[in-house]
Chain A
């Protein structure tokens, strides 16, 4: 029988510090009403001084293991970390997270696809399981965007938050609830400047000159990203639904990257799905990039929103540009 990756555990973690729109209004010329009307965000979490992406990844990874009935030192074949904000340019953060989770013999690597990273990671993890190279894969999306935000840039500072989410995938069959049933990935590097940290990599370092301070921060051309994100997620979602033979009416939940509430609602309009089937948690956590989809899954599951067997369409868009979609049915799993 065909092998599929099946979701067996789900964990999430948010750093404790809440940053409200009111707090940001004291730093920037903005207001709660302005931020909420344009983004849907009321608050986000920012990690405390000294807390890294690896720290948040460990927490979500540990919780996903517990959710799957496993623990530290479990038999897991690979740890994949999707992140834009690794602990170091080199080495990858995943091996350290695997070590801290006592998964010492597991393959471990980072995936760099910005806000699409979790969907890219899902595709890789499922492919490893489907090909027989792995029985269990721990996929984590974790970010500390607070470390790359330009403190003088209002437009990005109000949007992004820190957090982590993780899934434990196991080998199973496509007819099981929780099976990942299809994927669609894409990219367009001609628009890499739309979402970028200009300095810190070999392009800038090859000059052997110190970077301009502002080039060390995350930049985003928000309006262009908005229109392109909706278009690419709509195209990717439609292509994937056609491939797996699902009508949009048969999709119970659209779990889109929590970039901006208005992007999610524009996407819903384009794919013709009712807003009440759109999963959102952006109001409370902001845009957490690669962590956003597993966080949204965990928060919706905690609220009892998903029933076993429900059909989920996940779709994301991020820097690169990159985008991707995945479909699955919902398993009998409790998030931790």
Chain B
């Protein structure tokens, strides 16, 4: 696995646990299509900032829009899995 794939594998369950139907979340599933409420991405930003040691905001997660894109974002910020 390359770094993006490894990061994605760690991010995916964090997103899935916030969804009504966790199994429906894939790496490229748009956050828009998930039934996430307004605080879910804030909670995810807290988790990712702590887990990977790089600051990421809910606005950045919203813009990224999917697990795979968030993994790319974190990689550009210097996150290591």
Contact = CB atoms under 8 A, between A and B. Distances in A.
A230 interface: yes
A27 interface: no
Interface in B23-67: 37-39, 42-43, 45-47, 49-50, 57-58
B37 A266 contact: no
A266 B51 CA distance: 13
Interface residues of B, number: 12
Contacts, number: 31
A230 B47 CA distance: 10
A37 interface: yes
A143 B48 CA distance: 35
A100 interface: no
A262 B39 CA distance: 9
A5 B42 CA distance: 38
A227 B37 contact: no
A231 interface: yes
A226 interface: yes
Contacts of B46: 226-227, 230-231, 266, 270
B7 to A, nearest CB: 19
Interface of A: 37-38, 223, 226-227, 230-231, 234, 262, 266, 269-270
A226 B39 contact: yes
Interface string B3-19: 00000000000000000
A226 B50 CA distance: 14
23 contacts: A37-B37, A38-B37, A38-B38, A38-B39, A223-B38, A223-B39, A223-B58, A226-B42, A227-B45, A227-B46, A227-B49, A227-B58, A230-B46, A231-B46, A231-B49, A234-B50, A262-B39, A262-B43, A266-B46, A266-B47, A269-B47, A270-B46, A270-B50
Contacts of A266: 43, 46-47
B42 A223 contact: yes
B44 to A, nearest CB: 10
A269 B47 CA distance: 9
Contacts of A231: 46, 49-50
A270 B50 CA distance: 8
B51 to A, nearest CB: 10
B35 to A, nearest CB: 11
Contacts of B45: 227
Nearest to B57: A227
B38 A227 contact: no
A226 B43 CA distance: 8
A230 B45 CA distance: 11
B73 to A, nearest CB: 16
A226 B37 CA distance: 14
B43 to A, nearest CB: 6
Contacts of B49: 227, 231
A38 B47 CA distance: 17
A68 to B, nearest CB: 39
Contacts of B42: 223, 226-227
A69 B45 CA distance: 48
Which 5 pairs across A and B sit closest by C-beta, in order of nearness? A226-B42, A230-B46, A223-B42, A227-B46, A266-B46
Nearest to A229: B46
Given A227-B45, A231-B46, 14 more contacts: A37-B37, A38-B37, A223-B38, A223-B42, A223-B58, A226-B42, A227-B57, A230-B46, A234-B50, A262-B39, A266-B46, A266-B47, A270-B46, A270-B50
